Amino acid sequence: MVRNMEGKHGSYYEAIIQLRLVDEEFCYILERACMKDGVHIAKAMNVKNGFDYYVGDNRWALNFGKHLQRTYGGELHSTRSLFSERDGKKIWRVTVLYRQMPFKKGDKVIYNGEEWDVISLVKGIVLKRGNERLIVDFKEYTRVRLSE
């Protein structure tokens, strides 16, 4: 459910969605989802390695980040900070970071000089080779590269 933005300034936002290492298709996906769900985009910016979207609904932003990770795999982090307090109620701002990996589920990759299959990109980079499985933390994604 989208909260009513009535009475709020056009630049008002509750969440920042940071899209990193993505192509512009992800911007269209986000913009279409905002239009469909009636979520206000206060500002959109090109930044180093991606895009930042300032949106008017923090709950929606968190759910959208989860949707991206479930659908495309990749790294997802969210943080919140206290923005204000109104009538005794705390108002939080949320930042959602989604980072797409340079490979996808089903790709063959090289990690530590050996070839592996990518089987998941949700809780980390899950690799498989024969009966052996390995989970690589998203922070180490630069050590995993596509096989030629």
Total domains present in the chain: 2
Residue of 114, 85, 8, 119 whose CA lies nearest to 54: 8
Check whether residue 22 and residue 85 sit in a common domain.
yes
Check whether residue 114 and residue 51 sit in a common domain.
no
Residue 52 lies in a domain: yes
Check whether residue 95 and residue 117 sit in a common domain.
no
Residue 3 lies in a domain: no
Segment 73-104, tens digit of pLDDT: 889 999 988 877 788 888 889 999 999 998 98
Check whether residue 20 and residue 91 sit in a common domain.
yes
Check whether residue 50 and residue 120 sit in a common domain.
no
Check whether residue 24 and residue 92 sit in a common domain.
yes
Residue 6 lies in a domain: no
Residue 50 lies in a domain: yes
Check whether residue 26 and residue 78 sit in a common domain.
yes
Check whether residue 116 and residue 43 sit in a common domain.
no
**Sign of CA pseudo-dihedral 47, 124, 93, 42:** positive
With 0.85 as the threshold, say if the pTM is over it.
no
Residue 44 lies in a domain: yes
Give the strand pairing for 89-99 and 15-20: parallel
Check whether residue 89 and residue 61 sit in a common domain.
yes
Segment 29-65, tens digit of pLDDT: 999 999 999 999 999 999 998 999 999 999 999 999 9
Grade residue 8 by pLDDT with cuts at 50, 70 and 90: low
Q: Which domain holds residue 37?
A: 15-99
